Amino acid sequence: MTYSSVQLNDLPDEILLIIFKKLNNVEVLSSLFNVNKRLNKIVHDSIFTSDLTLLKYLSHNSTYSLPDPLLDRFCSEILPEIHHKIKLLTLESLSMKRILLSTNYPNLDGLGIYNIKKKTALSLFTDEITFTDVFKNQILSFVIEIIDKDCYEPNMNIIIFTNIFKNFTNLKYLNFNPSFICDQHISFNWSSPTIFSSTLLTLHVKVSSVIDCLHLLDGRFNQLHTLYLHTVSAYSRQKSLKITNKAKCGECHIYSYPYTLRHYYYIRNNFPGGLFKCVRQVSLYDEHPFKHEFFIRIQKSFPLMKKLTLYNKKPQNNKQYRKSKEDIEHLSIVEYPYLTNLILCDTHYDYIEEFLLDTKTCLTNGVYLSVNYKSLKKVTRNFKRDATRINSNKVNRLHVSGEFKITEHLKNYFSHAEISNYYGFI
């Protein structure tokens, strides 16, 4: 640590800022807080203190609390010193009360709470110390993700939804359960819709039916200008509607043109294509295999894509190139000139091969890759395969899930990469 600190002190502040911005704020603060006066001054900048995500993300979009020693340090030392600079906190349910009560947050106006059960969520809005007195007029942006084994209790959801507006009287942005892990939705059939807000501008919510959507648009949110809606039940008179997923549920994408959002999630094989120049984050999901041609379509549709997450457990069909009328499509190498974040930890190993084979994909330098160790080892043939070596050398951060031992083969194969797992860098 002394050697590292000396090297950092040799660099000008401008270069240090560029380096530190590549890390997340929690890493910067936990590593450099109170190391020395100069570094301490830099990490106290609002760039690193205004927005803190005090949780861990794992595969399947699951979240966990920070390790106890790290959480202890934040609550006892770091947060009390920078509390007046914090504007946004992203927390998970097990550690949220400890963090919120560790100090006061006079400038906090954004709050995200993840991995919370319904009963805990209900109790939050009756806890006067935590919410009603302290944050009633402060919070402008609120995100809540409810995870429960019993996913179908819309009566409890509508109570939580109502209490949010009763407690956060100046709320402008609400994302009510962004996760697809457990389909939490609200229904006004369970109680009279007494919710209203004269400040809300943007709302993300899942509802039970189109009728519930009409309740949201009847004037109770008279300043609302942006609504992101997922409807659980929608009826169609089409008797020939083709449904191919295991859940036997119809799905549709509705979007405006031009599409100005910076993300496009859960794209399936039936994606028609198009051109989405504003999109930077994309996720792909299907119960049927993705072919190489599908990735060609994705790259053409999202030419400026920076982050790609893929969920697909089905192996690819017809992986071998073959002579056909679509031969050009099969032989095309997909280039991702802006892709810097590639999440493949919850997918069949065929798709890891799709992105690492230099005959299929050309990655840019400086890619963060998250992947399962056993699948990676299989695809690279114990880190000796030449056909996947070029793209592997372009990875500068490798996050590995699953049990594994660090080997010289792994380090040499990903020679430019910092290798980490859930517990940190290795």
pLDDT tens, 97-109?
899 989 999 999 9
**Is 274:302 a contact under the CB 8 Å cutoff?**
no
Q: What are phi and psi of 27, to 5 degrees?
A: -65, -40
Burial (Cβ within 10 Å: 0-12, 13-18, ≥19) of residue 190: middle
The confidence score (pLDDT) of residue 127 equals: 62
**Is 282:300 a contact under the CB 8 Å cutoff?**
no
DSSP state of 75: I
The confidence score (pLDDT) of residue 220 equals: 86
Alpha helices of 13-116 — where are they, by DSSP H? 13-21, 25-32, 37-43, 46-49, 68-73, 79-82, 93-101
* Model confidence at 347: pLDDT above 50: yes
pTM check: above 0.75: no
* Mean pLDDT lowest among 76-80, 167-171, 287-291, 318-322: 318-322
The confidence score (pLDDT) of residue 134 equals: 74
* Structure confidence at residue 417 as a pLDDT band (50, 70, 90): very high
* Structure confidence at residue 317 as a pLDDT band (50, 70, 90): confident
* Model confidence at 48: pLDDT above 80: yes
* Structure confidence at residue 325 as a pLDDT band (50, 70, 90): very low
Q: Cα angle at 63 between 76 and 380, to 5 degrees? A: 120
* Model confidence at 318: pLDDT above 70: no
Measured between its terminal Cα atoms, the distance across the chain in Å is: 15
Alpha-carbon gap, residue 108 to 99, rounded angstroms: 13
Across the range 78-103, mean pLDDT stands at 93
The confidence score (pLDDT) of residue 130 equals: 56
Nearest in space to 389 (alpha carbons), one of 366, 418, 406, 412: 412
The confidence score (pLDDT) of residue 302 equals: 96
The confidence score (pLDDT) of residue 297 equals: 95
Alpha-carbon gap, residue 347 to 258, rounded angstroms: 31
The confidence score (pLDDT) of residue 57 equals: 76
Tokens representing 254 are 């509705």
103-119 core/surface letters (b: 16 or more CB in 10 A; e: else):
bebeebbbbbbbbbebe
82/118: higher pLDDT = 82
Mean pLDDT score across all residues of the chain: 83
Alpha-carbon gap, residue 255 to 242, rounded angstroms: 21
**Is 264:302 a contact under the CB 8 Å cutoff?**
yes
**Is 351:316 a contact under the CB 8 Å cutoff?**
yes
Q: Please name every residue paired with 312 in a beta bridge, in sequence order, or none if there are none.
A: 347
Alpha-carbon gap, residue 200 to 174, rounded angstroms: 8
Q: Cα angle at 90 between 23 and 113, to 5 degrees? A: 150
Q: pLDDT digit string (tens) for 201-238?
A: 999 988 877 778 878 887 888 899 998 887 765 554 44
Share of the chain above pLDDT 90, in %: 45
CATH number of this structure's domain 50-235, picked from the four choices 3.80.10, 2.60.120, 3.40.140, 3.30.70: 3.80.10
The confidence score (pLDDT) of residue 60 equals: 54
422/297: higher pLDDT = 297
154/80: higher pLDDT = 80
Nearest in space to 156 (alpha carbons), one of 115, 119, 113, 114: 119
* Model confidence at 72: pLDDT above 90: yes
* Model confidence at 239: pLDDT above 50: no
Q: Work out the widest C-alpha separation in the chain, in whole angstroms.
A: 71
The confidence score (pLDDT) of residue 121 equals: 87
**Is 105:75 a contact under the CB 8 Å cutoff?**
no
* Model confidence at 423: pLDDT above 90: no
What's the helix, strand, coil split of the chain in %, to 5? Answer: 35, 25, 45
Q: What are phi and psi of 372, to 5 degrees?
A: -80, 135
Across the range 299-304, mean pLDDT stands at 96
Look at residue 413 and give its three-state secondary structure.
helix
Tokens representing 88 are 């946004």
* Mean pLDDT lowest among 130-144, 225-239, 335-349: 225-239
CA distances in angstroms from 266 to 134, 149, 180, 252, 309, listed in the order given = 37, 23, 10, 11, 9
Per DSSP, the residues of 306-345 read -EEEEEE-SPPSS-S---STTHHHHHPPEEESS--EEEEE
Non-local (6+) Cβ contacts of 217 within 8 A are 224, 227
Q: pLDDT digit string (tens) for 252-295?
A: 555 556 778 899 988 999 898 889 999 999 999 998 999 999 99
Q: Which is it for strands 173-176 and 202-209: parallel, antiparallel or unpaired?
A: parallel
Nearest in space to 285 (alpha carbons), one of 243, 348, 209: 348
The confidence score (pLDDT) of residue 337 equals: 94
Gyration radius from the chain CA atoms? 24
Alpha-carbon gap, residue 3 to 92, rounded angstroms: 35
